Structure 1
Amino acid sequence: MNQQYTNKQILLATRPVGMPTEQNFEFKEIPVSEAQEGQVVVRTMYLSVDPYMRGRMNDAKSYIPAYNLNEVITGGIVGEIVESKSDLFKAGDKIIGMLGWQLYNTVNANTIRKIDESLAPVSAYLSVLGLTGLTAYFGLLDIGQPKAGETVVVSGAAGAVGMLVGQIAKIKGTRVVGIAGSDEKCTYLKNELGFDEVINYKTTTNLDQALKEACPNGVDVYFDNVGGTISDAVMNVLNDYARIPLCGAISSYNSTDGDIGPRILTKLIKTRSLIKGFVLSDFTARHPEGLQELGQWLSQGKLKYEETIVEGFDNAIDAFLQLFQGTNLGKMLVKVSDSKE
């Protein structure tokens, strides 16, 4: 065991029913495993906090395995190599990987990837230059296929994926309408990111009417992060041959009654619309293409991104629960440590 460091990890203690609570998780101190040949020890700098992690807490079949009880939770992590027994990395290198929610991870070197601090701050590799950026890129461009002059609607528009979807849609010459949950978020989307119209679904008394006014020419692409009543309303303003990338349904992730709503099949038939769910692993072979394009747009000033950073490993569960309260603007991250370089 490595005596130089003290480790702490977060385990899933019990499976949540409805909204998770802190009692579903357990903090545990353990020794840090020594790096063997071909391995490295990674100090965690940032944890990525993502809605999909809620689904992994259920014991149900999905596109990604469920978390096991009494085992460390895993997710996207940016970290720093503090010990290396691999030719691929040296101490001080910054990396990204799907690793355990713990202060230190001892892992095989071929399971992580080095990142370039000269292109962007390391935290950006968990957002605009990471999984959320790639999700926005492939979901919108491959499934949504926006064309100049069309109208694109984005739900969860102030979230990490949604705000990037809207900006990419603007790059492609479309008219963009964002749906978000506060006046502050709506103001940011319109004034800072250039969305053409925004709707605050929490204060709008008639969402159907608000959508008709915001989308006088109908909706050609609907990027859905939310589901629920918001998506029910968008279905009423679809144009013929609309495309609907299904990215998430955060409105129902903590539901105990099932997701009940209008049946949309007739509307899809009448408009001949395409609705397609996707996960980022569908596009694994093309990740370099997406990262190159996103990096270029970022360097050209065409993409902006926001981060909501919660300080301290001990506050990771609180940060996760905040996702379902809509407190974050952009990517929700937990800052665990600074670089020691």
Structure 2
Amino acid sequence: MSKSRILLTATNLFSNYHIAKRTLTAKAFIFKKQFDGFPKKSDLQLVEEELPSIKDGEFLAEALFLSWQVKNPKFPEGKYVVGDFGWRTHTISEGKTLPNGFPGAWVVPDFGNLPLSLALGPLGMIGNTAYFGFLELCQPKNGETVIVTGAAGAVGSLVGQIAKIKGCNVIGVAGSDDKGKWLTEDLGFDSFINYKTDNVRKKIKEYAPNRIDCYFDNVGGEISSTIMLYMNVHGRISVCGAISGYNENTLPKATIVQYPITFNQLRMEGFMVYRWVDRWFEGIEQNKKWIEEGKLKYRETVTEGFENMFEAFTDMLKGVNFGKAIVKVT
């Protein structure tokens, strides 16, 4: 393949690798200290370690495309893999299924002319989180109103577009007007709420006069409690994450949600995307088709250099990125 650089994700531990040829010294970020509030660079340590020779059933994966070496027929010569390898430049793996049921590594299918980096975004775990988490749990119907928090992030930006594909009215919630402009002008969201500057209740009433049918929740917190007050009877809520509390030392408090859930008979369900591992490539193929048809757009915020992993990670937590945050290993 002509591409010489492979991408590591900045938002989770899944990384895109090419099968490597030789045993090398690996660079890796290791967890040194439990985060106390917002993560600090001193909480992690960048180390180097010698890798042993690979054994039968293992393969050596390298975050830079050099060549190949493999003793596992499930990961053939010249293929790219996505694996739960950590923040590392090299690793030796057997590709075994993880305790949570997710494969330790999976071979990236042929993307045609699309960038290989999409295996870390819309054509990988991120895309499947949006595809299955929204369609399976919210079960949107044509003409319904959908609201998405964290809408300019990797998952939220895809969820909103999939909702539009399904014929829904879509409201995106994010933290800047620039992101709102991207959502409405480029991705086709019907409206946008800036949770930092807008009166959220007022905007929901304006943009959803017939109330909300589906809520894809990436953030939790008070804004989620507010949204639930304006949902229709038998509304559906898919809980993907709780960004609002990720860096708190104690669990954040929010207005009680049992009242709207009970009185409006809402269905609220959390999920992990591993639930649909047996349908993994169904999601990838459908998202790929939508991208090729121009129905699903994506954006990547790229940081150069493995040593800058931590900065890319904290920028993601701060909401600096548009779409998927990735690191290009150079």
State the partner residue of 2:130: 136
> Given the two structures, how large is their TM-score scaled by the length of structure 2?
0.87
- Which 10-residue stretch deviates more, 281-290 or 137-146? 281-290
Residues 3/146 of structure 1: CA separation in 2 closer, same or farther (3 Å cut)? closer
Shift of the 289–20 alpha-carbon distance from structure 1 to 2, 3 Å rule, reads same
Instruction: Compute the displacement of 1:291 (Å).
Output: 1.8
TM-score after normalising by structure 1: 0.84
Question: Which structure 2 segments of 5+ residues have no match?
Answer: 1-20, 97-103
CA 1:80 to 1:120, structure 2 compared with 1: closer, same or farther past 3 Å?
Answer: farther
Matches within 5 A, 1:237-276: 237-276=230-269
Aligned residue number for residue 178 of structure 1: 172
1:105 and 2:91 are equivalent in the alignment: yes
Distance in 2, matches of 1:94 and 1:293, equals 20
Q: Residue by residue, what CA displacement relative to the aligned partner does 1:190-239 show, whole Å, maximum 9, x if unpaired?
A: 000000001111111x2111111111111000100011122122112111
Task: Please give the alpha-carbon distance, in whole angstroms, between the structure 2 residues aligned to 1:137 and 1:109.
Answer: 25
Which whole-Å CA distance do the structure 1 matches of 2:236 and 2:281 have between them?
Answer: 25
**Structure 1 residue 327, shift from structure 2 partner:** 0.1
Aligned position for 1:48: none
Picking from 49, 56, 62, the partner of 1:43 is: 62
Q: Distance in 2 between matches of 1:228 and 1:307?
A: 27
Aligned residue runs from structure 1 range 266-305, under 5 A = 266-305=259-298
| 1-structure distance, mates of 2:271, 2:249 | 24
CA distance in 2, matches of 1:42, 1:203: 46
Which shifted more, 142-151 or 87-96? 87-96
Q: Which moved more, 1:218-227 or 1:250-259?
A: 250-259
Preserved contact between residue 153 and residue 179 of structure 1 (Cα < 8 Å): yes
SS at match of 1:100: coil
Equivalence for 1:62: none
CA-CA distance at 1:257 after TM superposition:
3.0
Q: 1:274: how far off?
A: 0.5
Which residue in 2 is equivalent to 1:306?
Answer: 299
Mark the CA change 1:220 to 1:105 in structure 2 (over 3 Å): closer, same or farther. same
- Specify whether residues 12 and 241 from structure 1 end up closer, same or farther in structure 2 by C-alpha distance, changes over 3 A only: same
In the aligned structure 2, how far is the partner of 1:24 from the partner of 1:303? 37
Is residue 80–residue 92 contact of structure 1 (8 Å, CA) maintained in 2? Answer: no
Shift of the alpha carbon at 1:33?
2.4
Name the CA shift for 1:295/1:3 in 2 (closer, same or farther; >3 Å): closer
Deviation at 1:81, TM superposition (A): 6.0
Cα distance change, pair 246–287 in 1 and its aligned pair in 2 (3 A): same
The 5 Å alignment of 1:38-77 reads 38-45=57-64
Between the aligned partners of 2:66 and 2:273, the Cα distance in structure 1 is 25
- Distance in 1 (CA, whole Å) between partners of 2:187 and 2:66 is 32
Count of equivalent residues: 302
Cα RMSD, aligned residues only: 1.8
Aligned to 1:54: none
Q: How far is 1:261 from its partner?
A: 1.1
Shift of 1:333: 0.7
Residue 31 of structure 1 corresponds to 50
